[in-house]
Structure 1
Amino acid sequence: MSEEISEVIAEGKFDNPFYHAASQGTVTPFGRGYEALDSRTSILNEIMLELKNPNIFMIGVHGMGGVGKTTLVKELAWKAENDGSFSSVVMATITDSPDVKKIQGQIVDALDMRFNKEMIEGRAIQLRKRITKEKSILVILDDIWGRLELEEVGIPCGDDHKGCKLVVISEDLNVLNREMGTQKELT
């Protein structure tokens, strides 16, 4: 078989090979690897606009797995932090079997704080106090599969802290609007 391959290569004429030029997508600065496609840019702009609405505190982003929801919200986090929209931006990955301590830990690490409580309830109280100290904070909850009790985690929202905005990401629209009570859903 290797002899046949060698013969085919020897007989082939590769003076002018055909190739496709690389796509000319726009890449945002600083090499973050985010490709600014028109569809992503419009959704990103719509999310940023909704986050400025004082009556909206929880936005849902949904779509099939692998379409780039996480990439989109990572860019949202970068943009929100760097354009001064929020004093702090934190992100936690939830998954299909949420571990409240792990979720709390991700948020606490992003806020550069430490817990001095071991129990979930005590940690939630500490986290809530820390979040309410922020004038404006964006909390992104990625890959959510079902209802997550924000109070149990320690995330104040709505009337509890008007400066706390949430973006919740799921493949399931019902999880967003029925389970989490998002006020606006984007695809």
Structure 2
Amino acid sequence: MSSEFTLRKATNEDQDRIWEILQQAIKLRKQDGSSQWQDGYPNAGVVQQDINQGYGYVLLSEGQILAYVAVIFDGEPAYQELEGKWLSNQEYVVIHRLAVAQDIKTKGTATFVMKEVETLAIARCVYSIKVDTNFDNKGMLRIFEKLGYEYCGEVHFRGGARMAFEKLLNKK
């Protein structure tokens, strides 16, 4: 699978396609009966901020963008207020705003992106990934379980509780 996909930093030229993918994901979350991403977030301004700060990444296959993700090595302030306990207090990377194109169907795309973030983290000598999602985001919850993420408690974003997970990576 890795030979056909490439994860790279997003550029301003990618912004329209990223926003298109995010809108598809927002619509899918609504169809699934979820309240996640139904409040005007994420939006085009958030994508621009991700790109400007170097957080935005796109997954490409044959020159087409299939997925978007924000990969943040600067921490997440909301994670300091965890109701629960993290597995570690070490430096970590955060994954936010993972969205996969719905107009080009590929299997395992989100899982591949998550694994690529592990590779990015290890390359920077960061051995912890922290993530969160809505309680009703069954797709992401399945991916977290499949990839060995452990439930650590709840965090709060924009007034809502979200499930928080951590995965410790092996030093190579």
**Same fold, TM exceeding 0.5?**
no
The TM-score, its normalising length taken from structure 1, stands at: 0.28
The TM-score, its normalising length taken from structure 2, stands at: 0.30
Judging by fraction of residues, say which structure has more helix: 1
Judging by fraction of residues, say which structure has more strand: 2
